[in-house]
Amino acid sequence: MSRDKPWGGRFREGTDPAVERFTASIHFDRELARHDIRGSIAHARMLGRAGVVPQADSDAIVAGLEVILGEVEAGTLFLDPRLEDIHMNVETRLRERIGAVAGRLHTGRSRNDQVATDLALYLREAARMIRHGLLELRRVLVARAREHVDTVLPGYTHLQRAQPVRLAHHWLAFVEMLGRDAERFSDLRRRIARCPLGSGALAGSTLPLDREDTARALGFEGPSRNSMDAVGSRDAALEFLAAAAIAMVNLSRLAEELVLWSTAEFGFIELSDAYSTGSSLMPQKKNPDVPELVRGKTGRVIGDLVALLTVVKGLPLTYNRDLQEDKEPLFDAAATLRDSLAVMAGAIATLAVRGDAMRAAAEDPMLLATDLAEALVRAGVPFREAHEVVGRVVAHCIAGGLDLRTLTHDALRAFHPRFEAAAGELLALDRALEERAMLGATARVRVAEALDEADRSLAAEADALAREEEIKP
C-alpha cells in the first residue's frame, strides 16, 4: 500500500513503501538535528526582519523551534521514520506545536540549501572536536616524552635496527605528524566560511531574502557566492574525510608500534590492563586489542573517503539524490577518528616503558657503524669510500662473531690507514646521541628544545580553539 507524500500536489500516486524505506535518511541524518534547527531559527528570524513573513509568525516559529531544540538536547524528540528525513521531522513537530503558521518556515528555502547549511555547520563542529582530540593525544605524547628524554632505543628503517635515538625524540615525531593533521582540520574552516542558505534549490529566490543576515547569525563570514555550487558541491566533506583518513593512517602507524613493542620479541612496553584484552582459550595472553582495532578501523575511514569520492565523481550540477550518501561516511569517519584518538591517548598515557630492554637493543654495536664511517670522513676520506670500508669491517665482525667496538687501532688500520684510533675510542652510544646536535636531531639539548617548543605550540593551539568556541553562534 502506497502512502501520501509529505509535501507537494504534483503527484497523484503515493510512494511505494519499499521506496520509502530505500530513500529514508532519518536513521542517520538525525545527527544533523541541532544544526538543522539552528539554521531554521536563523532563517525564520531573517524572514521576519526582512518582512517576508509577518513578524508575529516569525516569532512564533522561532519560539517553537527553540522548544524543539530543547527536546533534541534532552533526547525526547520523537523522530518518525515515515517522515523520511530530519528536515520533515522538525517541520512536522513544529506544525504540531504552533499550527499552520509552521508552513511559513520553508519560505524562500529548499531542502537543498538547507542540508548544505546543516552540513557546513556539522563540519565546523566535527573538525573542532577532532582538533581537541588531536590536541589531547599530542599533550599525552609530550608528557610521556618528557619522562623519557634519557631512554634510548634503536631507531628503525625497514624494521631493521638502524641508529640509536631517544624515546622522547621518537614520540615527538608523532607529535609533528599529528600536528599536521590538526592543521588540515583547522584549514578546512576556510572552505566552510560561506553560508549556503538563500541558494534555494539551485538558483536563489525571487523573495527579498537577506542572506548576509543568516550568514552572520550562523557564524559564517558571508553568504556563498554561487547558488549552484553551494547546493551541488561536497568538496568540504571530501576534504574532511581526506584529513580524517590521513589522521587515521598516522594513528595506525603509532598503533602498529604499540603492537610490535608489546610483543615478547621486542619487550619495549607493556600496555595497561585497561587497554588490553585476554584470550578466550589461552589464559596467559594479554592482547593489544586497542591499537589493533585502531589499525583496523583505519580501513573504514579510508573506505569512507573512497565511498564519497565515488559518489561525487560523476554527478552533474547541481543537487542529485546521490548526495544523500554523503552523510553516513562522514558521520562514521568523524566518530571513528574521535574514538580512536581518545583510546590511543589513554593507551599511551598508561603504558609502562621497559627502558632496560630498549637500551639493551640500542647497545647493538652495529648501530654505530655510520659513526665509524663518519670518523673516516672527518679524517678526510670521501664518504662513499668510507661507507665501503666500514661495510667490509662489518662483514668481518659478523663472520667472526666480533663486537665492532672491540676492534683495535691496528685491526681498523688494516681496513684503512686513516682510522685514527681503536673502535672503542671512536664509538660510544651516549656520544653517538650527543654528537647529533643539529636542529631536529636527537641530542639531549635538541630534544629538550623540541619539547619546550611543543608545549608552546600546544598552548597556542588550545587558546585558538578556545577563541573559536567563544565566538561560535
In-domain check, residue 405: yes
In-domain check, residue 228: yes
**Do 466 and 328 reside in the same domain of the chain?**
yes
Q: Domain of 39? A: 17-107
In-domain check, residue 152: yes
pLDDT at 15: 75
pLDDT tens track for 1-37: 344 455 556 667 777 778 778 877 888 889 999 999 9
**Do 229 and 326 reside in the same domain of the chain?**
yes
Region 342-363: mean pLDDT is 98
- Please, are residues 134 and 337 in contact by the beta-carbon 8 Å criterion? no
Q: Is the pLDDT of residue 204 over 50?
A: yes
Torsion sign across C-alpha atoms 336, 341, 345, 348: positive
- Please, are residues 316 and 301 in contact by the beta-carbon 8 Å criterion? no
Of the residues 107, 133, 162, which one is the last residue of a structural domain? 107
C-alpha cell at 385: 669510500
Region 434-455: mean pLDDT is 97
Cis omega before residue 318 (within 30°)? yes
pTM: 0.93
pLDDT at 2: 43
The catalytic residue positions are: 158, 279
- Please, are residues 236 and 188 in contact by the beta-carbon 8 Å criterion? yes
**Do 335 and 429 reside in the same domain of the chain?**
no
- Please, are residues 387 and 370 in contact by the beta-carbon 8 Å criterion? no
- Please, are residues 2 and 17 in contact by the beta-carbon 8 Å criterion? yes
pLDDT at 5: 52
**Do 237 and 370 reside in the same domain of the chain?**
no
Pairing of strands 152-157, 160-166: antiparallel
In-domain check, residue 3: no
- Please, are residues 288 and 262 in contact by the beta-carbon 8 Å criterion? yes
**Do 290 and 391 reside in the same domain of the chain?**
no
| Res. 82 pLDDT band, cuts 50 70 90 | confident
Q: Is the pLDDT of residue 165 over 50?
A: yes
In-domain check, residue 443: no
**Do 61 and 134 reside in the same domain of the chain?**
no
Region 98-117: mean pLDDT is 97
**Do 117 and 101 reside in the same domain of the chain?**
no
CATH code for position 129: 1.20.200.10
Which residue, among 246, 257, 120, has the nearest Cα to 183 in the 3D structure?
Answer: 246
CATH code for position 374: 1.10.40.30
CA distance 14 to 1: 9
Which residue, among 26, 53, 27, 23, has the nearest Cα to 40 in the 3D structure?
Answer: 53
Range of weakest confidence among 80-84, 100-104, 246-250, 285-289: 80-84
C-alpha cell at 268: 619495549
**Do 321 and 402 reside in the same domain of the chain?**
no
> Rounded mean pLDDT of the chain?
95
CA distance 416 to 421: 12
Chain centre distance of CA 68? 32
% of the chain residues with pLDDT over 90:
90
CA distance 126 to 138: 18
- Please, are residues 166 and 442 in contact by the beta-carbon 8 Å criterion? yes
Region 176-200: mean pLDDT is 97
In-domain check, residue 5: no
CATH code for position 100: 1.10.275.10
Q: What angle do CA 165, 364, 168 make, to 5 degrees?
A: 15
- Please, are residues 230 and 115 in contact by the beta-carbon 8 Å criterion? no
**Do 88 and 100 reside in the same domain of the chain?**
yes
pLDDT tens track for 414-441: 999 999 999 999 999 999 999 999 999 9
pLDDT at 1: 39
Q: Is the pLDDT of residue 469 over 70?
A: yes
pLDDT tens track for 231-269: 999 999 999 999 999 999 999 999 999 999 999 999 999
In-domain check, residue 48: yes
CA distance 61 to 74: 20
**Do 307 and 373 reside in the same domain of the chain?**
no
Tally of domains in the chain = 3
CA distance 244 to 178: 11
**Do 460 and 394 reside in the same domain of the chain?**
no
In-domain check, residue 459: yes
pLDDT tens track for 268-315: 999 999 999 998 889 889 999 999 999 999 999 999 999 999 999 999
**Do 375 and 417 reside in the same domain of the chain?**
yes
Which residue, among 202, 199, 189, 231, has the nearest Cα to 43 in the 3D structure?
Answer: 199
